[in-house]
Structure 1
Amino acid sequence: MKKYLFFAIFFASCVFTLNAQTKSELQIGLAMPQGDFADDDEDDAIFDGSGVASTGFYLGYKILSPLKTDGLYWTFNAGIMYNDLQSDFKDDLEDEMDDADDYSLPKYLNVPILVGLQYEKSLSDGFKLFGEAGLGLNILKLTNRSASKNDYEFKETFKPSVKLGYKIGAGIVLQDKYTISLNYLGLGSHKVKYEHEEKYDGDSESYDDKFEKALSVSSLNITFGIRF
């Protein structure tokens, strides 16, 4: 809890350094899972360390506040990353639940909130290269898994998990307005807690549990941005 409080204070201190030269940037792009997050071992899927996550989308907002060194900026990044399950694994689950009246499968939502530094170097008029690194917190949330048939239904409700995360990346700036970047995000290892509920013929029971093995979340993102 102390480390989360530290980062909250650090985020606030960065915001207070904003000045008239501050730039804002909206970003959208592809989020390509890496490592365990992309691992397709169906036997260990989700609960035992394999994410089986497919390529998804990233939507973000960045603030750049210039420092005294020319081309150097404080950065504040906040975004949301959405990844569904890989299609083959998803098809297998749907086949297993084919006779269910209704069902839903989990999807991944990650919300990284990072602060860091970015350095930009002008190579020609209207063309810059930049490198960036950031550190902060990531919130992982899975949507519910559920199914129902006749008088039976079950639901697993996943609780948010907060871990330290980081980002390293590079890209180009065109006409001081448009950006293209490639970023690697390491978003923590999460042993997600969840509640399992079952109902049958009017009776119900529930229990709390957590992943057997922590899920390590990482992603390679290609983003396009516009500054204003």
Structure 2
Amino acid sequence: MSGASILVVDDEPQIQRVLRPSLTASGYEVLEAATGREALAAVSANSPDLVILDLGLPDMDGKEVLRKLRILTRTPVIVLSARDRESEKIAALDLGADDYVEKPFAMGELLARMRTALRHSQSASLESDHVVANGLAVNVQKRMVTKSGAPVKLTPKEFDLLAYLARHAGRPLTHREILKTVWGPAHQNDSQYLRVFIGQLRAKIEDNAATPKIITTEPGVGYRFITSE
């Protein structure tokens, strides 16, 4: 999405010095904020297309900024942080982050995650009823799934799970988020239950369930649906 505006929220000057030229060279307009308050003001004033957010800000925790951002906007947010604990990733994703990249980071990976988040944001308002991934086609409205043109038989709950993952293609989804949405709040801690269903789905839709390419695992966090884009 060339020409998109990116708000970089980070109080480390060296990060800003690295990101600004790289993002500009990739065709993005770059806005900057060094504090949580500056970030919230910039989002309100400029409505950026994507936010890159550090969690360690001088005036407030980045997760609190994220919580407040989600009240203001559905603009995609990629957390870029040196905090590598799984609990931090899960908390940020549960609060509405679209992805999480650890420092130190590879610029190529960050740009790829940004493109995915921007694509998802562009199509979010158009209900994504048809998703294609590595020969798999999911038609959400008709509740039909085919693999290389052949029908795939799924149970109703397997389909609900696949449809939820497909509609959020490219975004890491936490165990709790998936369970709460597909099975309800009473099951939001049943991670083992989810693993069983993911295993059943992979056996039916992957070329090799042992090395999945469509439903990939985010270690300690959850799962990500990978499209063929």
Indicate the TM-score class for this superposition, using the shorter chain for normalisation. Answer: under 0.3
Greater share of residues in strand: 1
Greater share of residues in helix: 2
Structure 1 length as normaliser, TM-score? 0.19
Structure 2 length as normaliser, TM-score? 0.19
- Larger-gyration structure (1/2): 1
Higher relative contact order (CA 8 A, sep 6+): 1
